[in-house]
Amino acid sequence: MPTSTPLSRRSALAIMGSACSIPSFSSANSLGNLTKPPWIKHIGITRAKSHERVMSDLGYDFVEMSVSRHIKPFESDADFLQRKEVDFPKILPALGANNFAPKTMRLFGPDRDVEELIDWSEKAFIRASSLGMKFLVFGSGGTRSLPDGMSKRDGVKGFAEFIRAIAPFAEKTGITLGIEPLNYQETNFINTLVEGAEICELVKSPQVKITCDIYHALMNDEPVESVAEVGAHIGHVHVAEKQGRSAPGTHGEDLSPWYRAIEATGYAGTLSIECGWKDLPNQAGLALKTILLQAGGSYE
């Protein structure tokens, strides 16, 4: 395990017309001095804009937003510019977004409209780029679920064709698209890390990766060894405990084998907590401490 090093202060990022600095983990705060392993570059929380002051004080780096709820690709520019002053964070940068498309938009079946989804995707990448985002997560199990009677082989072919069609938007903006394998209760298509990596291998775009969601892998009883098989394709990481999709530290689950496996692939990038919070202001500190200690960092 590499020796953990204190975080240095990051340069200011201009996002939404105002400067948002990535906070230093070594700066003074109520939780003391935090360090993290080199493979975790930035730690964030999904959709926690209303608590960004608490997050910033604790040492979190960014907020992960929602494409469908916040970016809203089909919303007019005028309406978006007015709304973003309210809906987007001002203290921390919004480095990425999940929930790529609403479940009413379908890739397969009688209600499919692939051209609409391509148009949605192009606008999503353009708007995300204007916000300074670095990644978009394609979970959206309802959008990609296969209808009865459709084979997974045909699903893989159709999904790869769609991702190949929108990959140029990712390449042009420099934003990573992370295909997120989801648990079997949420979708019937692309459930395992290996299945997600298969799409990456078919598309062959440097900006198309997978989002390694530890919670979904745990829900599927996926072996941690699968991480080594897909390591070159990991572009982002989500984490939550398996029990109740809880914040790290809630039930004492040891996720260190997953962190070690991800680190061993050579991945170095972003990690977000995507969980159900019961009391975020009072849970976020323990969650951060738990991740740092289990992932090879330290908390003093």
pLDDT tens for each residue of 248-276: 999 999 999 999 999 999 999 999 999 99
Banded model confidence at residue 108, pLDDT cuts 50, 70, 90: very high
Residue 50 pLDDT:
82
Residue 149 to residue 151: CA distance in whole angstroms: 6
Percentage of residues in the chain with pLDDT exceeding 70?
A: 88
pLDDT tens for each residue of 24-39: 333 323 345 778 899 9
Whether the pLDDT of residue 106 is over 70: the answer is: yes
- Span 274-281, average pLDDT: 94
109 torsion bin: left (phi>0), alpha (psi -120 to 50), beta (else): left
- The two three-digit tokens of residue 189, written as one number: 């298509």
204 torsion bin: left (phi>0), alpha (psi -120 to 50), beta (else): left
Query: Which residue, chain included where needed, has tokens 């804009």?
Result: 49
The overall longest dimension of the chain from CA atoms, in Å, is: 58
Domain boundaries, given as residue ranges, for the chain: 5-299
User: Residue 97 pairs with which residues in a beta bridge?
Assistant: 65, 136
- Span 3-16, average pLDDT: 30
CA atoms within 13 A on the CB side of 91: 16
Residue 13 pLDDT:
27
pLDDT tens for each residue of 32-59: 577 889 999 999 999 777 889 999 999 9
DSSP-H helix ranges across 43-185: 52-58, 77-87, 114-130, 141-144, 152-173
Whether the pLDDT of residue 145 is over 90: the answer is: yes
Residue 122 corresponds to which amino acid?
E
Residue 36 pLDDT:
85
User: Residue 177 pairs with which residues in a beta bridge?
Assistant: 136, 208
CB 224 within 8 A of CB 215: no
Residue 109 to residue 149: CA distance in whole angstroms: 10
Residue 223 to residue 163: CA distance in whole angstroms: 27
* Average pLDDT of the chain, as a whole number: 89
Chain-centroid distance, C-alpha 227? 16
Can you tell me whether residue 127 is helix, strand or coil? helix
Residue 126 pLDDT:
98
Q: How far is CA 106 from CA 92, 101, 114, 189, in A?
A: 33, 9, 8, 13
Residue 73 pLDDT:
98
pLDDT tens for each residue of 164-185: 999 999 999 999 999 999 999 9
- The two three-digit tokens of residue 102, written as one number: 């609403």
Residue 55 to residue 288: CA distance in whole angstroms: 10
- The two three-digit tokens of residue 158, written as one number: 């159709």
Banded model confidence at residue 300, pLDDT cuts 50, 70, 90: low
Whether the pLDDT of residue 91 is over 60: the answer is: yes
User: CATH for 5-299?
Assistant: 3.20.20.150
pLDDT tens for each residue of 196-240: 999 999 999 999 999 999 999 999 999 999 999 999 999 999 999
Query: Which residue, chain included where needed, has tokens 């090879």?
Result: 296
